[in-house]
């Protein structure tokens, strides 16, 4: 998720609708690069609501290496899943600040315990 140039407070969103009544687990791989990426969040929002509350945010040292993220999605008839990035600084066209997503998938049931593999150790 990259947009250039950016100003402090700009948002980038990747959203997709999901229609289901059962519990689901969303899993994905992400990497964050650069100082201007301030907040990266995942939201699940009922389709008739405007208020977004994060269901997942990264924790720990997450910059520069691929990490796995996951969150359980609540039972809602119709909802939207939104990845959001908030910038904390203005950047130029040449900026290398970004969030990359890969291998996003939704599976049946709640998520299992978190996976800690980052492909940087024990390979």
Domain at 11-108, CATH class: mainly beta
Among 11-15, 19-23, 40-44, 67-71, the least confident range: 19-23
pLDDT at 123 over 80: no
How far, in Å, CA of 70 to CA of 105, rounded? 10
Q: What is the mean pLDDT of residues 22-44?
A: 85
pTM (two decimals):
0.75
Mean pLDDT over 18-46 rounds to 82
Based on its alpha-carbon atoms, the radius of gyration of the chain, rounded to whole angstroms, reads 15
pLDDT of residue 30: 92
Q: Specify which residues 86 forms β-bridges with.
A: 11, 39
Ranked by mean pLDDT, the top range of 6-20, 50-64, 70-84, 86-100 is 70-84
The CA distance from 29 to 21, in Å, is 25
* 62 vs 19, higher pLDDT: 62
Helix (H, G, I), strand (E, B) or coil at 81: strand
Name the residue ranges covered by the structural domains of the chain: 11-108
């Amino acid at each position: 998720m990259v947009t250039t140039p950016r100003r402090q407070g700009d948002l980038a969103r990747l959203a997709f609708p999901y229609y289901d009544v059962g519990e689901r687990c969303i899993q994905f791989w992400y990497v964050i690069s650069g100082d201007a990426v301030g907040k990266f969040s995942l939201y699940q929002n009922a389709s008739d609501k405007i208020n977004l509350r994060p269901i997942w945010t990264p924790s720990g040292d997450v910059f520069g290496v691929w990490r796995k993220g996951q969150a359980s999605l609540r039972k809602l008839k119709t909802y939207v899943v939104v990845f959001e990035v908030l910038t904390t600084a203005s950047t130029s066209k040449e900026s290398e600040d970004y969030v990359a997503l890969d291998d996003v998938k939704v599976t049946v049931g709640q998520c299992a315990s978190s996976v800690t593999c980052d492909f940087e150790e024990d390979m």
